[in-house]
Amino acid sequence: MTDNSSSLLDRSRTVAGPGYNRWLVPPAALAIHLAIGQAYAFSVFNKPLGALISGDVDKPASDDWTPLQIGVTFSIAIVLLGLSAAVFGKWLERVGPRKAMLAASLCFGGGFLIGALGVHLHNLWLLYFGYGFVGGIGLGIGYISPVSTLIKWFPDRKGVATGMAIMGFGGGAMIGSPLANNLMNHFKASAPMGVAPTFIVMGLIYLVFMQFGVWTIRVPADDWKPAGYVPSTEHNDLITTANVSADNAIKTPQFWLLWVVLLCNVTAGIGVLETASPLIQETFSDSAMGPGKGVTAAAAAGFVGLLSLFNLLGRFFWSSASDKLGRKVAYAIYFGLGMVLYALIPTLGHNLQLTLFVAVACVIISMYGGGFATAPAYLSDLFGKYQVGAIHGRLLTAWSTAGVLGPLIVHYLSNSRKAQGLSGAAAYQTVFYTMAGLLVVGFIANIVVTAVNERYYEKGPVTIEPGAH
């Protein structure tokens, strides 16, 4: 890389000039999140990856990878997402969003390419290393890279801004899933199940698409503020004008309370997402609803699709609403209303109220998305803008934990009920009651959040790291 090209990546070269329209920044952020959101559609590869040897998804060969082995790939990616977001957060604040987005695009696109080699050679460890490890690092850096930039551009609408970007992560799965299916169909004659060439094409598409974000992202000048923006003079303990560094933030109880809040929100959401398809098919089966009236596999896939839509919409709607409601009130709604709705699901299933069941699940999943999208604005309110990206990165370790914990709880509870001979809504009853209980914990954790003690504040004015201006 030449001196000139490296300087193009410097934060100082990304500072917006006078007259820059801040509404150009969310599309740059969306370009990153729409790409890395593909991770949530990884399950589209599960069956094809499990039939690379046999060539028949219904009759895997003994040498084919098992669903568990394939599932580990996604788990590695989610764990690396949290870890890399935590580790690289401060680096991101120092070098700026452009360099971080470039790194994310190289890791995410490169992860696909290494994964393709793993698929081609039928080497599981190479798949883990490529898509899981390298790609997971791309996920983590990419997820946090636009967050603090957006908060600085939209101090008056932090929830709207971060909601727009994080909505993209939800939308990424909607693009990634049909794209992968179409590509695998196209390539299935030339490679086992068409997976390896699909990985290559998707890796290259995402690498190129993310460059739009890399080269259009801009940071505001230090003294910039929106035209006509006057910071509220109303005193609010939970919105600070001070700044807390990432290293100090993790010493505060507020950070760990929010960590518990995110952990409970994500774990409970996984309870719905993991069980959605079997739950609706088993609860509203032909034997329960009458011959030909039960929910089919195709309709269950439609239900999962509907949940994805509400997950996406909730990220924008709830995060934007939190600008008016306040973050604490918003989370109190997610958890307060959420615990009631989670507890209602088994009853609605038992009474065969399909429409209400679907509606309640959609509201639940919208608030799950809202919980994700509101977190950066909550952090910014409590800790200031100084290193909010790095603090957010550290908070995302809660997501990694939930990504492992959630499926374990769901499978353990539902399998033990099924082992007792229970089926339909009864098999999942304890899952939903447990998740409602988790939301009670999250509700309490949110309620006890107070202002950060002044001893954690940075003394004097904070400056952007070297190389900035």
Partner 1 sequence: MNPQSNSPTPPATTADTSSGGSVVLAWLVVGLPLAWGVSQTFIKALALFK
DSSP assignment letter at 234: S
The region of 29-37, 188-196, 392-400, 457-465 touching partner 1 under the rule CB under 8 A is 29-37
| Choices 125-133, 302-310, 430-438, 452-460 (CB under 8 A): range interacting with partner 1 | 302-310
Tell me if 175 contacts partner 1 by CB under 8 A. Answer: yes
Asked whether position 96 contacts partner 1 by CB under 8 A, the answer is: no
> How many of the chain's residues bind partner 1 (CB under 8 A)?
55
For partner 1, the binding residue among 105, 198, 308, 374 (CB under 8 A) is: 308
Angstrom distance (rounded) from CA 384 to CA 242: 6
Cβ 139 to partner 1, closest distance in Å?
A: 18
Site for partner 1 in 371-430 (CB under 8 A): none
Residue with tokens 């990419």: 142
Cβ proximity to partner 1, 312 vs 425, nearer residue: 312
**Residue 13 found at the interface with partner 1 (CB under 8 A):** yes
Handedness of CA 244, 247, 250, 252 (dihedral sign): negative
* Shortest Cβ 67–partner 1 spacing (Å): 22
From 26-34, 71-79, 249-257, 327-335, span contacting partner 1 (CB under 8 A):
26-34
Tokens 């900035």 appear where?
468
Is 340 a binder of partner 1 (CB under 8 A)? no
Q: Kindly give, in sequence order, each residue whose CB lies less than 8 Å from that of residue 189, ignoring residues fewer than 6 positions away.
A: none
Shortest approach of partner 1 to residue 249 CB, angstroms? 28
Query: Are 432 and 345 in contact, with CB atoms under 8 Å apart?
Result: yes
Residue 91 CA: distances (Å) to CA of 88, 139, 384, 389? 5, 15, 18, 10
**Interaction with partner 1 in 349-368: which residues (CB under 8 A)?**
358
Is residue 6 involved in binding partner 1 (CB under 8 A)? Answer: no
The amino acid sitting at 114 is: I
By CB under 8 A, residue 268 contacts partner 1: no
Q: What is the CA radius of gyration of the chain?
A: 23
Residue 111 in contact with partner 1, rule: CB under 8 A: no
Cβ-contact 183, 198 below 8 angstroms:
yes
Q: How far apart are CA 349 and CA 344, in angstroms?
A: 9
Buried b (16+ CB within 10 A) or exposed e, 238-247: ebbeebbbbe
Which residue among 1, 2, 3, 19 contacts partner 1 (CB under 8 A)?
19
Tell me the CA end-to-end span of the chain in Å, nearest whole number. 22
Nearest to 266 by CA among 103, 65, 113, 410: 410
Asked whether position 309 contacts partner 1 by CB under 8 A, the answer is yes
Taking CB under 8 A as the criterion, the residue among 6, 66, 125, 178 binding partner 1 is 178
CB nearer partner 1, residue 178 or residue 253: 178
Q: Does residue 379 contact residue 392 with C-beta atoms inside 8 Å?
A: yes
Which x/- pattern over 310-329 shows residues binding partner 1 (rule: CB under 8 A)?
A: --x-----------------
In this chain, which of 136, 146, 171, 194 binds partner 1, going by CB under 8 A?
A: 171
Q: Kindly state the smallest distance separating residue 171's Cβ from partner 1, in Å.
A: 5
Whether the CB-CB separation of 16 and 218 falls below 8 Å is answered with yes
Q: Is 151 in the site for partner 1 (CB under 8 A)?
A: no
Residue written as tokens 């038992």?
350
Are 352 and 439 within 8 A, CB to CB?
A: no
- Measured from the CB atom, the residue of 23 and 125 that comes closer to partner 1 is 23
- Pick one of 290, 293, 305, 463: the residue that binds partner 1 (CB under 8 A): 305
CA–CA gap between residue 217 and residue 215 (Å, rounded): 6
Q: What angle do CA 274, 431, 426 make, to 5 degrees?
A: 105
Among 12, 123, 415, 416, binds partner 1 (CB under 8 A): 12
Q: What string marks each residue from 203 to 242 as x (binds partner 1 by CB under 8 A) or -?
A: ------x--x---x-x-xxxxxxxx-x-------------
Helix orientation angle between 135-144 and 97-120, rounded to the nearest 10 degrees: 160
Given the rule CB under 8 A, which residues bind partner 1?
Answer: 12-24, 27-28, 30-31, 34, 168, 171-178, 209, 212, 216, 218, 220-227, 229, 295-296, 298-303, 305-306, 308-309, 312, 358, 469
